[in-house]
Chains A and B, each alone.
Chain A
Amino acid sequence: MTADEPRSWTGRALPRLEDPAILRGWGRYVADVAAGDDCLHARFVRSPHAAGRIRSISAPSHVTVLTAADLAGLRPIRAVLDRPDYVTVSTPILADEVVRFVGEPVAVVLAPSEAEAEDALDEVVVDIDPLPAVLDADDARRPDAPLVHDADYPGDPNTVVDGRIHTPGFDEAVAAADRIVAVRVGSSRQSAMPLEARASHAAYDRASGRVTLHATLQMPHMTRTGIADCLGIPEDDLRVISPDVGGGFGAKMTLAREDVVVVHLARTLRRNIAWIETREENFLAAWHSREQVYDIEGAFAADGELLALRGDLVCDVGAYSCYPVTFGVEPLMAMAELPGCYRVREYSVRSRGILTNKCPIAPYRGVSRPVQVLAMERLMDVAAAELDLDPVQIRRKNLVSEFPHRTPSGLVLDEASHLETLQLAADMADLAAFRDRQRAARAEGRYLGIGFSSFAERTGYGTPAFAARSVPMSLGREAIATVTPGAERVICTMDPSGGVTVRIGASPHGQGLRTTLAQVVSDALGIEPSSVRVIDSDTDVTPYGWGSFASRAMVIAGGATLIAARELAERLRVLAAHRLGGLPDDIELVGGHARRRDTGEEIALRVLARDTYHNAQLIPDKGEPALEAVGVYDPAGTFANACHVAEVEVDPDTGQVRIDRFLVAEDAGRLVNPAVVDGQIHGGIAQGIANALYEELIYDDRGVLVTTSLMDYLPPTVAEIPPIRIAHLETISPASITGAKGVGEGGTIGAPAAIANAISDALSPLGIGVFHLPATPHRLRTAIREASRTKEAAS
C-alpha cells in the first residue's frame, strides 16, 4: 500500500502480527520462563476425599511441605456479590481443617525439579476423616443435607444464589395461552481444558523486595489485586505478567489458590518458585462448568407466538465461589438472558446456584448460554412439532425484530439481525432439499436430521451490565469487596521515530488482538499495522484493566483504542496544520504523512513526532511535548447474533452421530479482521460440538473424578469436526463505537442446540428427543433400544 492508495485496514484478513515468532517456536509461555530458571518447583498435595476433616499431614524430614498452618497470615479468597440471596463463602488458600472436593489443595511441597517435587508428593501422608458429601444439586437442597460450608443460608441448605423475576402480567398471559409446552434440559459438567494447563513462576527480587509473577492468565490486573488482598501487601509489591497464553476460554480468569501460594512462597523464602500444573490436576481442580438442569415452560398462542416463559434453573456450582465473578455467574446469567433473541413479554423465573462437594464452577466460553440456548431452541422445536409449524416458521414468529428491545429482565438488545440471519441460514441449508434427502434416507433405514439454533450473544458489556447483577444493600459494609468489571483504558503513544505503541488492559491469549487493534489504530493514524506495537498483559507497563473474557476485548478495548487513536490523530492534525497552514480539519493522515487535502502538501508523521519531543518550541499553544492519548470506554454492551444449522446422521446401531454439514449465518457487526472472526467462530463451534457430543466430566458416587485424562475426557480431533461454512451480515450498532461486536463465544453458545435439534429431528420417527448433553453414543443407543422395545411391545 502506498500513500496514493488509501484503503482501510479494518475489514482485511491481515495475517497476524503475533504469528511469526510462535511459528518458529519462539513463543514464550510460563513453563518456558521456568525452564530456564534455577527455581524451586511446587507441587500440590490434593484431597482424595470429597468431604472430610484433616487429621494430620506428615512427611519425612527431608521433604519440604507446607500446610494451611504455615500460611496462617494469609487471608482467604472472598468472592462477594451484593445481593440479599447471595451467600458469601471463603476459600482458604490451602484447605484448613476441612476438605470440600477431590483435588482441593491441602499442602504444597517444594523441590529443585518437577520430578523431585513429585517424588516428595509421594512421601506426604495426608490423614483425612471422610465426612458425608453432597454430590448432587437436588440432594444438596434437602433439609437434612450435609452443609458444604457452615453458612447462614437464607433459604434451602447449600443454596447460595436464588434469583427471581416475575413480570406482573405473567399469570394472565399464561391463562390466555392455547398451549403450554414444557421441556427439561440438562448439561453434564465440562472443562474448558486449554491446551496449556495452569502455570506460574514467581521471581523474587532482593533489591526491591518485589515479586514478578509470570502466570497464564486472562486477567493480570485482577490477579494482582486478588493476590495482594490475600497477602495483605500493596499491589505495587507485585508485578504480574501473562506472557504467551496457551488458551483460556474463561478458565484462566479466575484467581488460582495455587498462584497465591507461589507468590507467598517466593516472598517468604526469597526464592524463585514455579508451579506447572499437570493435565490431571487441571481436570481435578482448574474449574468446571455448566452442570445445570433447566425446567422451562412456554405458553404459546395457537399461531406459535410465545406469550410467556417460565423457568426453574438449577446450577451446581461446586464447593467454592470463583473470584472475581463469583458463583453467581452461571445462575444469574441464565436468569437474565434465558429469553435470548426471542420476544418474551412475560417472564417468571427462579435461578439457583447450589453448593456441592465437587470442583468449583467458573466461567467457560459461553458460561450458561449454551444451556440457555439449548433450552429455548428445544422449546421452539418441540412447540413447532405440537403446533404443526416448521422450525423456521416458529422462530420467525418469535424473534425480536425491532430495536432497541427491552427484555423482561431489563436488558436492552441493540441493533441486530435475527430474522435476517435465520433467513440466510435457511437459504444456505435449503430445508426442502434436505427433507427430500431425509425421506430417501429413512426409506433405507438411515436417520438424517437437521437442527436450527438462533441466538443472541451478549458481548462487550462494561460496568453498567455487571453492576446490574447486584442488588445493592450493603454499601459501605461489604461493597468494598465486590468486584464489578469493567471499563477499559488504552494509552496510545507515538514515539519520536513515529512508531506507535498501544498499551491496553485487555489480555489476549490467542485472539489476535495485537493485530486487530493495530488495524484499528492504523486506520485512525494513516500508518501501517506493522508500525503499531500493542503492549499487554504486564501490570508494570499497562493501564489497569479487566483483561480478556466475555467477548469483550474487541468491543471495549477496541473502542478505547479507537478513542485514543482518534485523539492522537487530532493532535497530529493540529501539529500538521501549524506546520503546513490551513485548519486541522483540512489535514488527512495517509501513508505515514499528514497531508493538506487542498494543496497536497505533506509532512511525515515521524518529523512531527520527533519535533514534538525534541523541539517543543514548535508545538502550538503550549501543547504537551509528547504524543500520547488515553481512551476510556465502558459500554453497556452489544449483542451479536447468529443462526447455526447442523445436519447430522445418527447410526442407530451404535448411537454415533456424524455431523455432515455445519452452517453459520453470523452477524458480529463490523469485521475488523474477517480471518480472525472466522477463526473464533470455527473454534467456538468445535467446543460447542464437543459440549454436544463428546466432553463430560464424570464423578463416581464417592465424589471422585473419573475423567482425569485425555483418554476419558474427550476433546474432539479434526476427524470429529466437520467443515464449517460461514456467511456474514454486518449490522452496525450504535452500541459499539468501532461497529464491531464480540464474537468469542457465539460458536460455543449456538452449536450444542443446533446439534441437539438435529439429532432429535433425525430420531423423530422413534419418538426420541435430545434434552441432555452430551448426547453420547451410549445415551443415544440406550434411548434407541428402549424406543424399539416400546414399539415392539406396542405392536
Chain B
Amino acid sequence: MTRSTVPVRLYVNGDRYDIEVEPRRTLADALREDCSLTGTHLGCEHGVCGACTVLLDGQPVRACLMFAVQAEGASVRTVEGLAPDDETLHPVQKAFWEHHGLQCGFCTPGFLTLVAGYLEEHPQAEEDELRDVLSSNLCRCTGYQNIVTATMAAAEEMRG
C-alpha cells in the first residue's frame, strides 16, 4: 500500500497553496493541517453535520467528503475568506453577531460559508428556501431560531 504524497495546488481565499499530501487527505484536513486554516471544523467526518462546509468554485461542499487532490487547481473559500478585511465583517457574519446566531461557535463556520455562498448567488431567496438550505447543517446550541433570524437579516442586507 502506498504512502506516497502528491503535489496539490489550491487557491484558498485568493491565496495559492502548493502542498504535498497523501491522496487520502481530505480537503478538510488539508485546509486545517497543510494550509493552517483551522476555521473549517470537523464534527462528524461522514457528511451529516456540515461543520466542514466550504465553497468549492462557489458551491457549498462537505470538505470531509472530498479529497484534497480532487480540488487540484480549484478555488476554495473558507470561513477565513468571507470577511473582506480585518476591520469589516461579511454581512452574514455581521448578522450572526447582531442576532446571536452562535453559541459555542463550532458549527458556525459551516453555517456562514453555506449561507454566504447561497445568498451571494440567490439574494432574493425567501425564508422557506433558506430554511431548506439551513437544514443542511447541524447546530447543537442555538435551536436554530437565531440562525434563521440572522440569515433573513443578512439576506435583506445583501439585497441592499
Partner-B contacts on A (CB < 8 A): 13, 15-16, 18-20, 22-29, 31-32, 35-36, 115, 193-197, 244-249, 278-279, 509-512, 675-676, 678-679, 681-687, 709-711, 715, 717-719, 721, 723-724, 747
Contact B46 A718 (CB under 8 A): no
Contact B24 A27 (CB under 8 A): no
Contact A27 B145 (CB under 8 A): no
Closest 3 CB pairs of A and B: A25-B39, A246-B106, A510-B104
Minimum C-beta distance from B141 to chain A (A) = 5
A347 to B112: give the CA distance in the assembly, Å. 52
A29 to B109: give the CA distance in the assembly, Å. 13
Chain B 42-60: CB-based contact to A (< 8 A → 1; otherwise 0): 1111101101000000000
Residues of B within 8 A of A195 (CB): 41, 43, 49, 51, 104, 106-107, 138-141
A323 to B139: give the CA distance in the assembly, Å. 28
Residues of A within 8 A of B46 (CB): 279, 709-711
| Size of B's binding interface in residues, CB under 8 A | 56
Given the interface contacts A35-B33, A710-B44, A718-B134, does A682 sit within 8 Å of B142 by beta carbon?
yes
Total CB contacts across the A-B interface at under 8 A: 178
Q: Does B146 contact A (CB under 8 A)?
A: yes
Instruction: Give the nearest-CB partner of A751 in chain B.
Output: B143
Which positions 45-87 of chain B face chain A at CB distance < 8 Å? Answer: 45-46, 48-49, 51, 78-80, 82-83
A27 to B106: give the CA distance in the assembly, Å. 8
Instruction: Give the nearest-CB partner of B13 in chain A.
Output: A25
A35 to B37: give the CA distance in the assembly, Å. 9
User: Please, could you name 20 A-B residue pairs with CB atoms under 8 Å apart, sorted by A?
Assistant: A19-B97, A22-B102, A24-B39, A24-B82, A29-B38, A29-B41, A31-B42, A32-B38, A195-B104, A195-B140, A196-B41, A246-B105, A249-B140, A510-B105, A679-B142, A710-B44, A710-B46, A710-B138, A718-B148, A721-B145
Instruction: Give the nearest-CB partner of A711 in chain B.
Output: B48
Contact B48 A710 (CB under 8 A): yes
A606 to B135: give the CA distance in the assembly, Å. 49
Given the interface contacts A23-B96, A246-B41, A719-B131, does A685 sit within 8 Å of B102 by beta carbon?
no
> Pick the contact of B39 from A15, A26, A115, A723 — CB < 8 Å?
A26
Q: Does B132 contact A (CB under 8 A)?
A: yes
Contact B43 A683 (CB under 8 A): no
A137 to B46: give the CA distance in the assembly, Å. 33
Minimum C-beta distance from B140 to chain A (A) = 5
Q: Does B144 contact A (CB under 8 A)?
A: yes
Instruction: Give the nearest-CB partner of A721 in chain B.
Output: B144
A25 to B107: give the CA distance in the assembly, Å. 11
A196 to B45: give the CA distance in the assembly, Å. 11
Which positions 1-43 of chain B face chain A at CB distance < 8 Å? Answer: 22, 24-25, 32-33, 36-43
Interface of A is mostly: loop
Could you list 16 further interchain pairs (A-B, Cβ under 8 angstroms) beyond the known A15-B97, A19-B97, A247-B104?
A15-B98, A24-B89, A26-B80, A27-B39, A28-B38, A29-B41, A29-B106, A31-B32, A115-B24, A197-B43, A247-B106, A510-B103, A686-B142, A717-B134, A717-B137, A719-B132
Instruction: Give the nearest-CB partner of B107 in chain A.
Output: A195
A723 to B145: give the CA distance in the assembly, Å. 6
A537 to B68: give the CA distance in the assembly, Å. 35
Contact B43 A279 (CB under 8 A): yes
Residues of A within 8 A of B102 (CB): 19, 22-23
Instruction: Give the nearest-CB partner of A510 in chain B.
Output: B104
A70 to B106: give the CA distance in the assembly, Å. 36
A246 to B49: give the CA distance in the assembly, Å. 13
A747 to B107: give the CA distance in the assembly, Å. 20
Contact B45 A115 (CB under 8 A): no
Instruction: Give the nearest-CB partner of B39 in chain A.
Output: A25
A509 to B102: give the CA distance in the assembly, Å. 11
A197 to B104: give the CA distance in the assembly, Å. 13
A28 to B89: give the CA distance in the assembly, Å. 19
Residues of A within 8 A of B32 (CB): 31-32, 35
Residues of A within 8 A of B93 (CB): 23-24
Residues of A within 8 A of B145 (CB): 682, 721, 723-724
A511 to B132: give the CA distance in the assembly, Å. 27
Residues of B within 8 A of A511 (CB): 103
Contact B49 A24 (CB under 8 A): no
Minimum C-beta distance from A412 to chain B (A) = 31
A723 to B23: give the CA distance in the assembly, Å. 44
Minimum C-beta distance from B90 to chain A (A) = 8
Among A26, A246, A509, A676, chain B packs the most CB atoms within 10 A around the CB of A246
Given the interface contacts A19-B97, A195-B140, A510-B103, does A25 sit within 8 Å of B89 by beta carbon?
no
Given the interface contacts A35-B33, A196-B104, A679-B142, does A25 sit within 8 Å of B51 by beta carbon?
no
Given the interface contacts A195-B43, A244-B105, does A683 sit within 8 Å of B131 by beta carbon?
no
Residues of A within 8 A of B159 (CB): none
Residues of B within 8 A of A19 (CB): 96-97, 102, 105
A682 to B131: give the CA distance in the assembly, Å. 16
Minimum C-beta distance from A194 to chain B (A) = 6
Instruction: Give the nearest-CB partner of A675 in chain B.
Output: B100
Minimum C-beta distance from A71 to chain B (A) = 29
Residues of A within 8 A of B100 (CB): 13, 15-16, 675-676, 678-679
Contact A194 B140 (CB under 8 A): yes
Given the interface contacts A23-B102, A27-B105, does A247 sit within 8 Å of B37 by beta carbon?
no
A244 to B89: give the CA distance in the assembly, Å. 21
Given the interface contacts A24-B79, A35-B33, A510-B103, does A683 sit within 8 Å of B45 by beta carbon?
no
Minimum C-beta distance from B49 to chain A (A) = 6
Minimum C-beta distance from B155 to chain A (A) = 15
A721 to B140: give the CA distance in the assembly, Å. 12
Contact A679 B146 (CB under 8 A): yes
Minimum C-beta distance from A691 to chain B (A) = 13
Residues of B within 8 A of A193 (CB): 140
Residues of B within 8 A of A18 (CB): 105
Q: Does B147 contact A (CB under 8 A)?
A: yes
A20 to B86: give the CA distance in the assembly, Å. 10
Minimum C-beta distance from B102 to chain A (A) = 6
Contact A278 B45 (CB under 8 A): yes
Residues of A within 8 A of B103 (CB): 247, 510-512, 679, 683
Residues of B within 8 A of A22 (CB): 102, 105, 108
Contact A682 B41 (CB under 8 A): no
Contact B143 A245 (CB under 8 A): no
> Pick the contact of B83 from A24, A510, A686 — CB < 8 Å?
A24
Chain B 116-159: CB-based contact to A (< 8 A → 1; otherwise 0): 00000000000000011011111111111111100000000000
Among B51, B137, B141, B148, chain A packs the most CB atoms within 10 A around the CB of B141
A193 to B140: give the CA distance in the assembly, Å. 8
